[in-house]
Amino acid sequence: MKKVLALILTMIISPVFSAPGGGGKENAITTGKINYFLLEPNFVVNIHGKRGLRYMQTAIQVMSYDAAAITALQTHSAPIRHDLLMLLSDQKIETMQNAKERERIRHEALEIVQKNLEKYAHISPDDTVKDLEEKSHPAGIQELYFTDLVIQ
């Protein structure tokens, strides 16, 4: 009798605790709302210019429907920040002053975040999460934005 009662309780309680997880699982649940997250602190890197080394500071925010992806981003911030710093510090001033080139760098930065989340948290942008109304939303991080950019 105790085993049956324990099994019934497990069946009732398990979905309650596993539902809000998100994280790119087909059966995961999200609120369906867009989440924005600022990667803090801002990124400060040396970049090359015609007059030698200069520095660039930028704020980066990401967007996701998947709250679990934001949590994973915080958990795995060290490799993500490292890879983003490597990308940004490898740029030239001329590249960052060109809108098309900045957009290309933005896409590369988004790919870096997505690949790190896939590697460390097993969250793929190809996965989906469902909201409470059973509507599917993409898992992981969908967008990355440079919300501040200063070069001196």
d(CA 114, CA 68): 13
CA dihedral 47, 75, 125, 100 (to 10 degrees): -10
One digit per residue, the tens of pLDDT, for the chain of length 152 reads 544 333 333 333 333 333 334 454 545 567 778 999 999 999 999 998 888 899 999 999 999 999 899 999 999 999 999 999 999 999 999 999 999 999 999 999 999 999 999 999 999 989 999 888 889 999 999 999 999 999 99
The model's pTM: 0.80
**Residue-range domains of the chain with CATH:** 2-151 (3.30.479.30)
